[in-house]
């Protein structure tokens, strides 16, 4: 079987690339929504990733490239955690202000229309009013599970 003509792993019939409707997964405070993910689908409705390594590629992109660009406070304190404003260093409010969606368009070769939204609570600094996440570390910890839930809910099999 050549790699350019991929057959369905479940029923071995021919597959076609097809963009999916948005799929979403949540883990605690983080929701990941994947728009326009292209998968390989067969006539029997099975779907699989275009490449086996794609899910890991997307996860790495989010954690290593996208998330470090988000506005995030600084986590301090060993026993009792405090979160300090990225801009002015004042302590952030303990309660989130609202949930905000951050959008990313990773450039992946066989994924032309791909967009990923990360939706999570943002906290306002009472001193300078800047909205930000409590901590990048928290978000990074939740990302693998949230992304996996999105793929599982959509019923995509590994390619």
By the rule CB under 5 A, 85 interacts with Zn ion: yes
By the rule CB under 5 A, 105 interacts with Zn ion: no
Among 118, 125, 136, 139, interactor with Zn ion by CB under 5 A = 125
What would the 3-class secondary structure string for the chain be? Answer: CCCCCCECCCCCCEEEEEECCCEEEEECCEEEEEECCEEEEECCCCEEECCCCHHHHHHHHHHHHHHHHCCECEEECCCCCEEECCCCCCEECCCCCEEEEEEECCCECCECCCEEEEEEEEEEECCCCCEEECCHHHHHHHHHHHHHHHHHHHCCECC
Among 87, 93, 119, 157, interactor with Zn ion by CB under 5 A = 87
By the rule CB under 5 A, 127 interacts with Zn ion: yes
Among 44, 80, 95, 98, interactor with Zn ion by CB under 5 A = 44
Which segment (16-24, 44-52, 66-74, 100-108) binds Zn ion by CB under 5 A?
Answer: 44-52
Q: Where does this chain bind Zn ion (CB under 5 A)? A: 8, 10-11, 42, 44, 46, 85, 87-88, 90, 125, 127-128
């Amino acid at each position: 079987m050549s790699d350019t003509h991929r057959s369905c792993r479940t029923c071995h019939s021919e597959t076609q690339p097809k963009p999916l409707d948005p799929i979403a997964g949540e883990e605690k405070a983080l929701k990941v929504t994947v728009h326009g993910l292209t998968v390989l689908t067969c006539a029997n409705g099975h779907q699989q990733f275009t490449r086996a390594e794609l899910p890991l590629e997307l996860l790495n992109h989010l954690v290593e490239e996208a998330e470090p660009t988000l506005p995030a406070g600084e986590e301090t304190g060993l026993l009792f955690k405090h979160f300090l404003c990225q801009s002015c260093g004042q302590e952030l409010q303990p309660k989130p202000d609202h949930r905000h969606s951050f959008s990313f368009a990773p450039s992946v070769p066989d994924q032309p229309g791909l967009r990923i939204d990360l939706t999570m609570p943002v906290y306002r600094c009472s001193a300078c009013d800047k909205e930000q996440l409590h901590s990048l570390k928290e978000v990074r910890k939740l990302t693998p599970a949230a992304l996996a839930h999105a793929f599982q809910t959509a019923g995509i099999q590994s390619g």
